[in-house]
Chain A
């Protein structure tokens, strides 16, 4: 596979959320505000990218029988590192507080383990790093789209700044996870009508 495809495919053509339908759980949970979604997107990009890089470098030494466990240990380490770093800075501390358990739960995000198993263990380090980062970016892009609508309609703000007129009554359904699922459905619908080869006969 060419490098360009490695980078561009996960963003749209084989987007981890809308096409592979991975990482749905967290995309419902952390998309209430754009700030939260952005931090989550960057965190997943870093975890996915660096874990892929590390595991791809070690791929020929990993014993086949404990492959998954070794992957888990490395991913868990990356997740804890990201969480610790977010907690350490004044700027990111409130956002980490808001995201609470969902940063730690990146380890259960199927995209991370899925890409390592499917790509990093069979490819060289640099393409693996790019694949990880690109999949994280594809995930993050959908997160931001969903968060844009949820924050706008649910809180009347964007990145915490008031954009809706003062009399706007916030919509409580939008704040709750089911609405994120409805939005995701709409995004899948749009993508499938653009990309005809995804449609089942």
Chain B
């Protein structure tokens, strides 16, 4: 047979592409539930790490099922809020519904526009509130979770993740516990601009104490990642100002 004729070539490539597409579609469909489960457990373990319920390594060691169980035991309520801080919808607690980075990305456009968003709030039984942040790092998206004390402004803990920041430099937002520990005890100045600052060269200090409660040191050698994270935190915490504003007025 002449394998160089036009007809043969066209038919051959068509068949190959269809077969490959079918194989990939089948595999993708059959593995999707497992992949989603992994991503969900990862998201939940990041939120729990931010909330101070354990370290990331501990959650990784305990496996997906245990992570979901811990979340189920600790969570009080979860819902989405809009710009005014009003509740839009509740998240299904029994199904352990959370926001994946993809869902955060979808909301990020609206958060940047400043309107029309519905972003999640997770309140745990011990009074800690966890909210996500999302933005652009140097090479790809960065996101994370910030946990607030019951007063709605003091930061209890934070955990950040990224897609492709430089290992050893920008990746420290995820890998360096010292960076995440900097957030603990700081405050977010809701209703002000900036809400929170990550400052290159170090936050200004007087007599060894920080001048402001909402400033921390950036990561050496990772200015672009630090700036990106700073922008992400400001955009998202700014978007939560409505929600935390109402919490505060209720308490006062």
Residues of A within 8 A of B (CB): 32, 60-66, 69-70, 73-74, 76-77, 80-81, 84-85, 87-90, 93-94, 97, 100-101, 154, 172, 175-176
Contact = CB atoms under 8 A, between A and B. Distances in A.
A63 B38 contact: no
A90 B13 contact: no
Contact of A63 (B8, B27, B167, B221): B8
Contacts of B38: 87-90, 93
Contact of A61 (B3, B35, B41, B168): B3
Contact of A84 (B20, B27, B64, B140): B27
Interface in B49-98: 60, 63-64
A60 B1 CA distance: 10
A62 B3 contact: yes
B4 A70 contact: no
B212 interface: no
Task: Bin chain B's interface residue count.
Answer: 20 to 34
A35 B164 CA distance: 17
Given A61-B12, A65-B9, A176-B166, 10 more contacts: A73-B16, A73-B17, A74-B16, A74-B20, A81-B24, A84-B27, A84-B35, A94-B42, A100-B163, A175-B168
Nearest to A170: B168
B227 to A, nearest CB: 20
B100 interface: no
Contact of A85 (B12, B20, B31, B64): B31
